[in-house]
Structure 1
């Protein structure tokens, strides 16, 4: 607007045909030029204010996201935040650590002990020479990261006329909300029955949170005969009917992206239409990790012991077909140190634990799928294929120690009126992240959260490192 006003004045002088125009113009032009330069300066200041605010918001969110990491501290949070600021304002900085040529104030936490908010400061030099002071405040108790940016904008006229206008500040604070460990998440975002309990079913989440990501008013359904007990029950949309849960569901923002979405497919593939490995009768078999492209069927009282990481680092069983346990068969680990990860790939591979079977499994402690017990190829979620049902029909599935990640799968537990039974209750912890979770006819899925009680790791983004990041101001 200032530039248009200056332009109108100049045009008015130009149309003036009186003899005094030259004199007036000679007197007025310096003032008009100064006004034009001031207008340009102010426009630059306002534009830089917007840039700094965007940088502060991004840096605060990035820093708060680091609170999901169990060993996050002020130095790590400050380094991550500083990288985001540098990328937004065009300053040169190492992608992982502050560049000593760009940072003139050492990042040191303030005194006061680990419980007190920790402050770090740095000075960034952008490629055009602008100096930006960056202050980050990490409050581990309040689960917040505050970012303050201050920059003196290089101007031509404004620095003389109004020096205070050239100093731009932007502040932003992000908080990790719902800091209770995330132990169950249904990823479905739009349709009904994303998290569905009926006919005497239960989810008992000891010390952790249960989350329905569906925007459908019927996304979270728990009938009067069923129940959910957790530290926190979240639903993106208020349920259309009463949900029998303790505590009552609260509105939470959608978890986007998928908290485990950073995990990618393994470099493993299988030929199609291979026959399964069948283990049956009274056989007792030790099964090492490897490619099982036709799947594995265990039946008729057979006992299969997985050597897992006791036999091969990583302990990964790649499944190109179903893992089926039925007819009173047993599937277990070799010993307390063994761990196995089942990777389901191809168009159709899933697990089915049938009635009266016994299953006790634990995830590997090392390797590419450390901490994961069941991992579905994430490419299925983008392939357009219909979701597969991963089924537990036995009340003798006592241990599922680790994380179950079925990005496009439906975890179904149905005891088919055979009487109530606990599932996974003997696990130190169990985390479930699936497209949908549906329970029927008596199962009680027990999600313990004794993360310190085992050396099996919890993947970043769930369990104690889960939480929703939001700007609080």
Structure 2
């Protein structure tokens, strides 16, 4: 009887010791979840920029996913906070039952953790494929095509797929979905947090409806040089042979498509090309394009834009598209690059934000990031104005 009575407190001590060991593991699990979520939040915060930051709800869900089945045995919650100084804080709380109906300790075990993360290195954000549909592909490359964007973030808000011998060389290739293919340098990061469209709040429209401008039909030329003043153009230009379409500085709104064939050329400095409706730029054969974006005004930093109701494909099938200095913004549009050589290699810098970016043949899209001294400013939210950071990050706490 004496031994039996003595065994009771001994059994209680063993049970308490086991419980405290389990409690230590659970605390470590909660801390690891908070650390991982804070690092992901800090990474995304610096990438997206101050004007378009990721929802903290996604980071809190990310933390919850890290604790797994522990959330079934305890009441677990996380709170994420974005700091104005570029830090990201995640606080976690777990409440679970304890001994003797939560009498020891009173109310049950309480696990509190906190993590603060910050970025240590900045990379510009240069390419976003913004197809956020389930199973969609924001960026694809096939055959021997690819992207060279050294020191830049190249990000897909869905899957990122390389087929055949396609390659992507970037500071950091990333996919919110799954990155597939062996041609990534360095290895792509799958499961990244979504990067919101940095320009989603912008109104994209001509100063007047296209229907208010006379319809001038189709203009085809094989040898002329056409000089076009800024304004609304309700005419379809088809430049063939050795013809040239020269855009004067300003904002050009195209209510119809623009095609370049043969050795036709499109050129313009300090210009914006905005395409409405189902209209797009189509450059193929040996045509050439040399464009530099707006240097001032509401569209400073942009060179080619499509309206939000424009689903037409923009096509670059010529290797003589050597200069696209500025931001190309195609929110609902696919950019198809099927040239047989380098594209945009003569630009100091380029940024592309499109619903889909598809490369094929031997096309090599060159994304430079020489922002210093450029006459075209970088818009807030992209390039070196995104505050983009991938690695390294650190935990301050």
Q: What is the TM-score of this pair, normalised by structure 2?
A: 0.67
Residue 456 of structure 1: how far off its partner (Å): 0.6
Judged with a 3 Å threshold, the aligned counterparts in structure 2 of structure 1 residues 178 and 320 are, in CA distance, closer, same or farther, namely farther
Give per-residue Cα distances to partners, 1:185-205, cap 9 Å, x unaligned.
100012343211111102000
Residue 300 of structure 1: how far off its partner (Å): 2.4
Equivalent position of 2:336 in the other structure = 412
SS in 1 for 2:137: coil
Q: Supply the distance in 2 between the matched residues of 1:371 and 1:442 (Cα, whole angstroms).
A: 29
After TM superposition, the structure 1 = structure 2 runs for residues 327-338 of structure 1, keeping only pairs within 5 Å, are 327-333=262-268, 338=269
Equivalent position of 1:435 in the other structure = 355
Equivalent position of 1:297 in the other structure = 238
Q: Supply the distance in 1 between the matched residues of 2:324 and 2:119 (Cα, whole angstroms).
A: 28
Does the 8 Å contact 1:172/1:471 carry over to 2?
A: no
SS in 2 for 1:401: strand
Equivalent position of 1:235 in the other structure = 175
Judged with a 3 Å threshold, the aligned counterparts in structure 2 of structure 1 residues 256 and 201 are, in CA distance, closer, same or farther, namely closer
SS in 1 for 2:211: coil
Give per-residue Cα distances to partners, 1:115-146, cap 9 Å, x unaligned.
xxxxxxxxxxxxxxxxxxxxx783xxxx4266
Residue 65 of structure 1: how far off its partner (Å): 5.3
2:258 is equivalent to residue 323 of structure 1: yes
Judged with a 3 Å threshold, the aligned counterparts in structure 2 of structure 1 residues 440 and 66 are, in CA distance, closer, same or farther, namely closer
Within the candidate set 214, 218, 223, 2:163 is matched to 223
Which stretches in structure 2 are left out of the alignment for 5+ residues? Answer: 1-36, 51-82, 92-112
Which stretches in structure 1 are left out of the alignment for 5+ residues? Answer: 1-56, 73-135, 149-169, 309-314, 381-386
User: Structure with the greater relative contact order (CA < 8 A, sep ≥ 6): 1 or 2?
Assistant: 2
Residue 243 of structure 1: how far off its partner (Å): 3.4
Residue 339 of structure 1: how far off its partner (Å): 1.0
Within the candidate set 124, 136, 150, 1:206 is matched to 150
Q: Supply the distance in 1 between the matched residues of 2:117 and 2:234 (Cα, whole angstroms).
A: 46
Residue 391 of structure 1: how far off its partner (Å): 0.1
Residue 464 of structure 1: how far off its partner (Å): 1.3
SS in 1 for 2:372: helix
Residue 322 of structure 1: how far off its partner (Å): 0.6
Judged with a 3 Å threshold, the aligned counterparts in structure 2 of structure 1 residues 292 and 459 are, in CA distance, closer, same or farther, namely same
Q: Supply the distance in 2 between the matched residues of 1:401 and 1:328 (Cα, whole angstroms).
A: 21
Q: Supply the distance in 2 between the matched residues of 1:220 and 1:327 (Cα, whole angstroms).
A: 33
Residue 411 of structure 1: how far off its partner (Å): 0.3
After TM superposition, the structure 1 = structure 2 runs for residues 383-422 of structure 1, keeping only pairs within 5 Å, are 387-415=311-339, 420-422=340-342
Within the candidate set 281, 284, 287, 1:354 is matched to 284
Equivalent position of 1:274 in the other structure = 215
SS in 1 for 2:347: coil
Does the 8 Å contact 2:178/2:191 carry over to 1?
A: no
Equivalent position of 1:344 in the other structure = 275
After TM superposition, the structure 1 = structure 2 runs for residues 14-413 of structure 1, keeping only pairs within 5 Å, are 138=85, 143-144=86-87, 173=116, 175=118, 179-189=122-132, 190-214=134-158, 219-239=159-179, 241-268=180-207, 269-271=209-211, 274-276=215-217, 278-308=219-249, 315-333=250-268, 338-346=269-277, 348-380=278-310, 387-413=311-337
Judged with a 3 Å threshold, the aligned counterparts in structure 2 of structure 1 residues 462 and 225 are, in CA distance, closer, same or farther, namely same
Give per-residue Cα distances to partners, 1:279-309, cap 9 Å, x unaligned.
513211221111012333222211122211x
Equivalent position of 1:127 in the other structure = none
Give per-residue Cα distances to partners, 1:125-182, cap 9 Å, x unaligned.
xxxxxxxxxxx783xxxx426699xxxxxxxxxxxxxxxxxxxxx9884646984211
Judged with a 3 Å threshold, the aligned counterparts in structure 2 of structure 1 residues 286 and 144 are, in CA distance, closer, same or farther, namely same
Give per-residue Cα distances to partners, 1:371-420, cap 9 Å, x unaligned.
1111111244xxxxxx32100010000000001000000000113xxxx3
Give per-residue Cα distances to partners, 1:417-449, cap 9 Å, x unaligned.
xxx311000100011110000011111100000
Does the 8 Å contact 2:206/2:253 carry over to 1?
A: no
